[in-house]
Amino acid sequence: MISEEVARSALKAALKKGGEFADLFAEERETTQATLEDGKVESFTSGVDSGAGLRVISKDSTFFTYTEVLSDSFITNTAAELAEAVTTPPGPDGGKQVILPEVLRSVRPGVIHKTRLSPSDVKRDEKAKILKRADEAARLVDPSVRQVTVSLSDVIKRVSIANSQGLFVRDTHVLTRLFVHVVATRAGNIKTGYEAPGIAGGYELFDEEEPDEIARKAAERAVGMLDAKPAPTGEMPVVLASGTSGVLFHEACGHGLEADAVRKGASVFAGKEGQMIAAEIVSAADDPTVPNRWGSFSFDDEGTAASKNVLIENGRMKGLMYDRMSAFQLHAEPTSNGRRQSFRFIPQPRMTNTYIMPGKDRPEDMFAGIKKGLYAVSLGGGEVNPATGDFVFGVTEGYLIENGEVKNPVEGAVLIGNGPRILLDIDRIADDLRFDTGMCGKGGQSVPAGTGQPTIRIKRLTVGGTGV
Amino acid sequence: MKGLEKAAEFVVAECIKRGADEAEAFVKSGEQTTVKVYQGEVELFTKSESRGMGVRVLADRKTGYAFSTVLDKTSLDGLVDDAIENARHCNPDEYAGLPEIFAEIPGDKPTSLLSTGFDSVDSKQKIDFATEMEATALKTDPMVIACEDTLYTDGKENVRLVNSKGFSGEYEHGAGFAYTSVLAGEKDDVMSGFAVMSGHDLTELDPVKIAEEAANQAVMLIGAESIKPRKTTVVFDPLVFIQIIMSISSAFSADAVQKGRSFLIGRRGKKIASENVTLIDDGSMPGGLGTAPFDDEGVPTQKTALIEEGVLTGLLYNSYSARKDRTNSTGNASRGSYKSTPGTSPTNLYVVPGVVSKEQLIKGIADGVFVISVQGLHAGVNAVTGQFSVGAGGILIEDGKLDHPVREITIASTLPDLLKNVVGICDDIRFISMGVNIGSPTIAIEGITVAGR
């Protein structure tokens, strides 16, 4: 890995022609992925992806490049080339010389997410066994299970991060995830279901839940949906189950609380700091310190130590999520939300583990008094327009609620609404907070993001289906 | 590129020496420039070069993969060992293996699909292009507030494939695209508009056109409201339908059909769409951004009709799925990156345009919605089950005229019904390439459930 001296000389070279800030992100990423389909272990892939990204910030401009060759001379040369691209706009504060500290100071992590069983200590045979166990368990659920795809992936990522303010961080980050996708078919009717648990950690993932159990859940979801009827259409109360439906808050509200969107006025929450933006019972946070969760880490990808960030407190908007650039621009402190897909990308303000805090209600009490509504147990991804807050979500597992009771599964339901409005329309929050895993996309980059939520009830939301 | 060629040849030879039956090295290298502007200033300027190698080995009909961005001798040694070790832990598969037929490679020079203008465009021109795009959008309409994101990017790539069956081929290609997303409106009624264009390089892109399209789209949606549920005809803008084609294209891969992961299972040779629908994939299309002399396994690319006058006549094959169906690969093997295993992907995929203009088409619709933006495609469209329900924004059509803007609506159907109920295909085909090059004209489909509040 890169030494402190090399990092320092690269930063110096990068700032030669101007710029107020420079940083270096060097990464070595070892990955393995094994895939099973049709009952066969189809492929085993392993590889090393390594390189360094270099960035210079000059006023509101970012100049960025990367190299895949991690040799000392190459990094310094790349930095010198980057300096040539810096076109610091002329002006009173343009081209100011940055004084680099004599020594970069190593920062120790505040929180460590321990890996108990490292991917490098698990043999390929063991990994193949996990795939097979999952496949067999899924197929045993029901004869209608027609296809099972299982994919197991792990990452060991070693990074060195240095910046012109004198920071130097070294960190190792481990990620492990199992993905099970099941197709069930009966009389021409096809349904799918999947489960994809993952942790910031190693193969102790399967201490929490065995591969068989994960696969069974995916299969039961697909099989259960074979009995689904067309989803109702129109405005109705919606109960969101704990866990996966946290993705709704992530998409519909979380992205609007990222500082870059707020700065550009491209967020419905711009200028609403301190105001009531949600029902009083709603509090929400982004927190990379939750032990070993999918979006957890010790340092973000700009070397900022992980810390919990309260976004909404008792309905009031409290904080935003910043990376360094947006913090510079908005005169704030970075909040450990500077994340990047790899050394090939620039950091952006991104969520880590975002969740609505638990309330006092019991989950089973959420349905009382609902004449006709929807119980959404699992949401597929969704999309939101941050400028308007309008969102759309597919319901991958949903049930009709009739006269206070959960009835038959429904298919093809889509939730459509507006982020700020549903925050105000939440009228019950249960005490059963659960986390789930996802990959969050933004600006062409994808990073692991944890989403969390207790069971919540939304007074009214538009459900789009095919059953008019 | 000589060094990479040597490295690829070395790896293939070593794999065979160490006991592999077949071996293949796939090397990609390239360079890319991206410019983003915001409020007249350069927000982001990136320039980068990259390269890496992926290896596939076969031993006793078992396949192993490995990749690396570190290409020195020690790492390449490790790469070979890893690939062979990985193969040992897979199950044997009688259909696994390298292809039998390869593209003819004329001479020893790489095939160049680069446009001549590519290298003559310097960084400043790219910055100017993006700046002009933003400035134009801002002055297109007084209701425009800002451009949220304005980006220009281009790059070129060199693909080299070497295998133990004697194939060695190389080609270069390049592409650029530019987009802007515009915010327009006031107070609580801010709408966004988006437009994108792709081409071989900057000379094929028009900053003014992109800017005006995005700005007009945002302005058109100001004052939009939701509507009551109804079953109606939906007219899809080409940009929207391109995204829909993208999200259902995996269903046309033979691999997906063989493994039951496609709503088209058992439909080969049957009528699956309205008679006016013809869908073509053509990896040999002159000038196409998805065009290449050979696919990512070395098989020549070709023109394949997937739907002909409504009938499902073809599927996309790589050598593995072709062997399973006892047919030939259609030259659609795709690796995405040297890190990924070869899958199947379309190349230049397009709906054959019709003869009516968009204006004529809309004139003939008594009641419908002209959809100009969709949301939630990856959640709402399932190419396995055929489920289709997405969020949308657009303009109501009443008595053949574009009327009031609508938002917060969902449009729902099933993929089989969507294909069957196509009632109009216009003459205005457009192509967008972001990975796969997809083309679509404006398309009208009846019987879609539109829901709102």
Residues A323-343 pLDDT 10s: 999 999 999 999 999 999 999
Supply the pLDDT for residue A96.
61
| pLDDT at position B82 over 70 | yes
Query: Quick one: pLDDT at residue B420?
Result: 97
Using CB atoms, which residue from B45, B123, B183 is nearest to A266? B183
Distances (CA, A) of B35 to A63, A260, A414, B155: 9, 17, 36, 12
User: Sorting pLDDT into bands at 50, 70 and 90, what band is A89?
Assistant: low
Query: Per residue in B193-214, pLDDT tens?
Result: 999 999 988 888 999 999 999 9
**More confident: A391 or B108:** A391
Q: Give contacts of A344 with chain B, Cβ < 8 Å.
A: 48, 50
Closest-CA distance of chain A to residue B451, Å: 5
pLDDT score of B441 more than 80: yes
pLDDT of residue B118: 67
Q: Is residue A94 very low, low, confident or very high in pLDDT (cuts 50, 70, 90)?
A: low
Packed helices B2-17 and B73-88: angle between N→C axes, nearest 10 degrees: 40
pTM: 0.91
Tell me how many degrees the CA angle A316-A317-A321 measures, rounded to the nearest 5.
Answer: 155
Does B259 contact A147 at a Cβ distance shorter than 8 Å?
A: yes
Residues 31-70 of B with CB under 8 A from A: 38-39, 41-52, 54, 63-70
Predicted confidence band of residue A149 (pLDDT cuts 50, 70, 90): very high
CA distances from A426 to A239, A389, B15, B138 (A): 10, 16, 60, 38
Determine which helix (DSSP H) or strand (DSSP E) holds B230, and give its type and residue range.
strand B230-236
Residue A224 token pair = 């259960």
Strands A390-402 and A414-418, by their bridges, are antiparallel
Contact B391 A390 (CB under 8 A): yes
Distance from CA of B66 to the nearest CA of A (A): 5
pLDDT at A1: 78
- As a whole number of angstroms, the distance between CA B279 and CA B303 comes to 11
- Residue bearing the bigger pLDDT, A121 or B71: A121
ipTM of the complex: 0.88
Q: A385-389, A413-417, B387-391 — which is least confidently predicted?
A: A385-389
Predicted confidence at residue A39, as pLDDT, reads 94
Residues in chain A: 468
What is the pLDDT averaged over residues A283-288?
98
Write out the two tokens for A32: 């393995």
Q: What is the pLDDT of residues B146-167, one digit of tens each?
A: 999 999 999 999 999 999 999 9
Residue type, position A208, single letter:
E
Distance from CA of B33 to the nearest CA of A (A): 9
- Three-point CA angle B6, B170, B201, nearest 5°: 125
What sign for the dihedral angle of Cα A207, A212, A213, A217? positive
Q: What is the pLDDT of residue B109?
A: 73
Q: Which of A387-396, B20-29, B126-135 bottoms out in mean pLDDT, i.e. has the lowest?
A: A387-396
B125 interfaces chain A, CB cutoff of 8 Å:
no
Residue B443 in this model has a pLDDT that exceeds 80: yes
Q: How far apart are CA A202 and CA A300, in angstroms?
A: 19
Q: Is pLDDT at B252 greater than 50 in this prediction?
A: yes
Confidence check: pLDDT of B439 > 90: yes
A186 pLDDT higher than 70? yes
Instruction: Grade residue A97 by pLDDT with cuts at 50, 70 and 90.
Output: low
Return the residue of B nearest to A27 by Cα: B69
Kindly list the distances between the CA atom of residue A375 and the CA atoms of A236, A357, A364, A467, B351, in Å, as whole numbers in the listed order.
11, 20, 12, 16, 39
Q: Do B70 and A50 touch (CB under 8 A)?
A: yes
CB within 8 A of B276, min separation 6: which ones? B309, B310, B354, B422, B424, B425
Among B residues 247-266, those touching chain A with beta carbons less than 8 Å apart: 259-261, 263, 265
3-state secondary structure of A76: helix
CB A192 within 8 A of CB B384: yes
Q: Cite the DSSP H helix spans in B160-305.
A: 207-220, 238-248, 254-258
Query: Would you call A466 and B389 a contact, using CB atoms and an 8 Å cutoff?
Result: yes
A207 CA to chain B: closest CA distance, Å?
24
pLDDT at A93: 55
Q: Which of B76, B79, B89 to mutate to test the interface with A (most CBs of A within 10 A)?
A: B89
- Quote the Cα angle for A225-A227-A232, to 5°: 80
Q: For residue A11, is pLDDT > 60?
A: yes
CA–CA–CA angle A43, A44, A49 (5° rounding): 125
- The span from the CA of B103 to the CA of B340, in Å, is 22
Q: Does B378 touch chain A (CB under 8 A)?
A: yes
B347-379 pLDDT, tens per residue?
999 999 999 999 999 999 999 999 999 887 877
Q: Which residues of B touch A125 (CB under 8 A)?
A: 89
Q: Do B376 and A346 touch (CB under 8 A)?
A: no
Average pLDDT over residues A141-146: 97
| Per-residue pLDDT at B47 exceeds 60 | yes
Six token digits for residue B184: 């327009």
User: Which residues of chain A does B47 touch, with a Cβ-Cβ cutoff of 8 Å?
Assistant: 65, 85
- Residues B178-192 have a mean pLDDT of 90
Q: In 3D, which of A291, A310, A48, A10 has the Cα closest to residue A161?
A: A10
Q: What's residue B408's pLDDT?
A: 81
Whether residue A468 has pLDDT greater than 80: no
Of A43, A89, A346, the CB nearest to B65: A43
- Which residues, 6 or more positions from B320, have their beta carbon under 8 angstroms from its beta carbon? B95, B96, B97, B255, B342
B 342-361 residues inside an 8 A Cβ radius of A: none
Question: Distance of CA B207 to CAs A115, A436, B215, Å?
Answer: 50, 42, 12
Average pLDDT, stretch B82-110? 90
pLDDT of residue A90: 44
Neighbours of B241 (CB within 10 A): 23
Q: Is B453 on the interface with A (CB under 8 A)?
A: yes
The angle that helices A124-141 and A211-224 make with each other, rounded to 10 degrees, is 30
Nearest to A115 by CA among A158, A157, A173: A173
User: What is residue A404's DSSP assignment?
Assistant: T
Name the B residues in 175-214 with CB < 8 Å from any A CB.
183, 190-192
Cross-chain CB nearest to A64 (options B41, B46, B146) = B46
Per-residue pLDDT, averaged over A391-414, amounts to 90
Map residue B313 onto helix, strand or coil.
coil
Cβ separation B75–A48 shorter than 8 A: yes
The H or E element containing residue B2 is helix B2-17
Which pLDDT tens digit goes with each residue over A232-256? 888 999 999 998 788 889 988 999 9
- Residues with Cβ within 8 Å of A19's Cβ and at least 6 positions away in sequence, in order, are A56, A57, A58, A63, A83, A86, A88, A98
What are the distances in angstroms from CA A3 to CA B125, B325, B436? Answer: 38, 55, 41
Written as one string, the DSSP assignment of B113-179 is: ---TTGGG--HHHHHHHHHHHHHHHHHH-TTEEEEEEEEEEEEEEEEEEEETTS-EEEEEEEEEEEE
For residue A91, name the pLDDT band (cuts at 50, 70, 90): very low
Cβ within 8 Å, pair B192-A387: yes
β-strands B401-414, B303-308: how paired?
A: unpaired
**Residues with Cβ within 8 Å of residue B318, at least 6 apart in sequence:** B255, B295, B297, B299, B329, B332, B333, B334, B342, B343, B344
How confident is the prediction for chain A on average, in pLDDT?
92
Percent share of chain A, pLDDT over 90: 75
Give the SS3 label for residue B208: helix
Mean pLDDT of B295-317: 98
CB atoms < 10 A from the CB of B363, how many? 13
Contacts of B123 in chain A (CB under 8 A): 85
- Residue B412 in contact with partner chain A when CB distance is under 8 A: yes
Whether A29 has a pLDDT exceeding 80, the answer reads yes
The residue count of chain B comes to 453
- Residue A69: the pLDDT is 83
